[in-house]
Amino acid sequence: MNKHEKTPNRGLNTRLTHSGHDPQSYHGFVNPPVVHASTVLFPDAATMESRNSKYTYGTHGTPTTDALAAAIDELEGSAGTVILPSGLAAVSVPFLAVLSAGDHVLVVDSVYGPTRRFCNDMLCRYGIEATYYNPMMGAEIEQLIRPNTKLVHTEAPGSNTFEMQDIPAIAEVAHGHGALVSMDNTWATPLYFKPLDHGVDLSIHAATKYPAGHSDILLGTVSANEAAWPALNTANMLLGMCGSPDDSYMTLRGLRTMGVRLERHQQSALQIARALEGRPGVAKVLHPALESFPGHDLWKRDFCGSSGIFSIVLDVADAERHRAKAHAFLDALTLFGLGYSWGGYESLCVYANLSDRTVALPPKEGPVIRLQIGLEDSEDLLADIEKALAAANAA
């Protein structure tokens, strides 16, 4: 049992409601205080010199960030969690924590785009080489492991195209060769997949998405098992990265309702995905919870739910027409906003750019349209999509 685990053997919504803050620790107030702090005063010189007190400086944690970190530790089953100013920082900090000059990292090709840019434009300057691997690889990933491979980075489902990965098989091979495994688990949240229970060492979240849930906050979290926690914690201290008190507070507030929000996101997204499957104008629906999806068996084996973002592939044989048809689709939408990010209460749509892929190539059937299904009534959303399909067809 983890040190923060106040609600062992309880359901996920019970944990979401009660984890992270003990009201009696702060005059009985249900929510933790928002502590704005740089300086922390010590009672005497000896304590100051030994730093032997719970709090020492604002960058090293406050009662507000600790409350959020404790809640996440309980959900992830982790030894420790760091709070970072964005989801992208939650990717870059663990990479910097475990990789050194001369090391090699394996990164899944369906990775979040800015993660790839961080590897290609920054890590390489420090003498760290990245190889992109096919998300369909399980134990066969062993062929790509080199003596200097120190990290295997996973993300499942993949960004935009939602490929599933055999996480336990990959973790077993990586650990057999002395490499750690990180996973960007933003899509599933710890409610629908618990990476550390499947062999992952470092679980990454853009808390910007479902945990915050209202398109008004940027925050990231990284949760580590006992083996990876010292390196993660040290790197975070050295880099001076920390989440702000207000954003940490609001993310903990968001967590309280994440379970019920996700249930609705899940239900509406599945309903819409099923309605679009096999429709004229739609070549494919990329959603891991659909039986037709190639990675469905892995999703069914390892995950306990699906969230609200998936893609459709429009049926456009002529590659020259992909952009025009995709733009016609986007421009006809009235409820879906055209904007990046996801996980908020409102629906969004993006024409996915997959030009950076090296092995998990974009589908040939047509342009990939990513849909974030918000909390609106699903019949209204489906009607909006139908109008957009008609506009794409006419373009």
Ligand X SMILES: *Cc1c(COP(=O)(O)O)cnc(C)c1O
Which residues of the chain form contacts with ligand X (CB under 6 A)?
Answer: 86-88, 91, 112, 155, 159, 184, 186, 206, 208-209, 218, 220, 341
Q: Which is nearer to ligand X, 209 or 325 (CB)?
A: 209
Using alpha carbons, list the distances in angstroms from residue 69 to 1, 84, 195, 221, 297: 16, 11, 17, 8, 32
Comparing every residue's Cβ against ligand X, the nearest one is 87
Which of residues 169 and 188 has its CB atom nearest to ligand X in the complex? 188
Token pair 């409102």: residue: 346
Nearest distance in Å: CB 143, ligand X: 26
Residue 381 has which token pair? 């959303």
Packing angle of the helix pair 87-98, 113-121 (nearest 10 deg): 40
- Burial 53-73, CB ≥16 within 10 A → b, else e: eebeebebbbbbbbbbbbbbb
The whole-angstrom separation of Cα 60 and Cα 53 is 12
Helices within 240-376 (DSSP H only): 245-276, 296-302, 322-332
Q: Shortest approach of ligand X to residue 379 CB, angstroms?
A: 27
Q: How far is the CB of 208 from ligand X (least distance, A)?
A: 3
Nearer to ligand X by C-beta: 248 or 332? Answer: 248
Which residue, 164 or 282, is less far from ligand X as judged by CB? 164
Nearer to ligand X, 93 or 282 (CB): 93
Least Å distance between CB 390 and ligand X? 30
Task: Report the nearest approach of ligand X to the CB of residue 186 (Å).
Answer: 4
Shortest Cβ 80–ligand X spacing (Å)? 20
Residue 298 or 328: which CB sits closer to ligand X?
298
CB 355 within 8 Å of CB 337:
no
* 3, 35, 102, 304 from 343: Cα distances, Å: 29, 26, 37, 18
Rounded to whole angstroms, what are the CA distances from 286 to 234, 240, 333?
Answer: 39, 39, 20
